[in-house]
């Protein structure tokens, strides 16, 4: 599964070996279940001067395409933060846009249609800025669900 994860990052040109090495001791890998689901995420560490000092992530163990997609989401979110390490931290109100985009690309490319469609439906129902992704992914499928 790790190879599939790395191959996708390389294919999308978002692979960063320096960043992956940075994350090695800053990543908590958990078995995905109802208890651990809420811990999955990216956690910026900010000092008293509002400087981004560190990044930690919690991701599910890569056991299938869905858990790989979740790892991709957190990787991209943390990578975007990594570019601003040791700079003033500014919370991005649209921080999930790019991570969700890559997660959906992975799911679509790996024929995870059921999960992909559920994810699109959740985005649609959220009525958030992420709904702009509905215009990118499977517009016809979204139209069918609304009729």
Residue boundaries of the structural domains of the chain = 2-112
Q: What is the mean pLDDT of the chain?
A: 90
pLDDT band for position 79 (cuts 50, 70, 90): very high
pLDDT band for position 40 (cuts 50, 70, 90): very high
Q: CB within 8 A of 30, min separation 6: which ones?
A: 36, 39, 40, 58, 59, 60, 61
Question: What are the tokens at 81?
Answer: 């933060």
CA distance 54 to 86: 8
CA distance 16 to 49: 28
> Could you tell me where the beta strands, DSSP code E, fall in the chain?
27-30, 41-46, 52-60
CA distance 81 to 77: 7
What's the predicted TM-score (pTM) here? Answer: 0.86
pLDDT tens for 10-31 read: 999 999 999 999 999 999 999 9
pLDDT exceeding 70 applies to what percent of the chain? 93
């Amino acid at each position: 599964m790790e190879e599939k994860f790395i191959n996708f990052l390389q294919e999308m040109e978002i692979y960063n070996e320096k960043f992956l090495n940075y994350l090695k001791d800053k990543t908590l890998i958990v078995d995905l279940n109802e208890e651990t689901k809420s811990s999955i995420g990216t956690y910026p560490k900010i000092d008293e001067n509002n400087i981004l000092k560190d990044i930690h992530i919690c991701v599910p163990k890569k056991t299938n395409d869905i858990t790989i997609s979740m790892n991709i989401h957190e990787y991209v979110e943390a990578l975007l933060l990594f570019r601003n390490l040791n700079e003033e931290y500014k919370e991005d109100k649209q921080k999930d846009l790019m991570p969700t985009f890559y997660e959906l690309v992975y799911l679509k490319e790996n024929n995870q249609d059921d999960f992909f469609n559920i994810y699109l439906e959740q985005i649609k129902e959220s009525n958030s800025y992420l709904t702009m992704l509905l215009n990118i992914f499977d517009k016809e499928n979204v139209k069918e669900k609304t009729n």
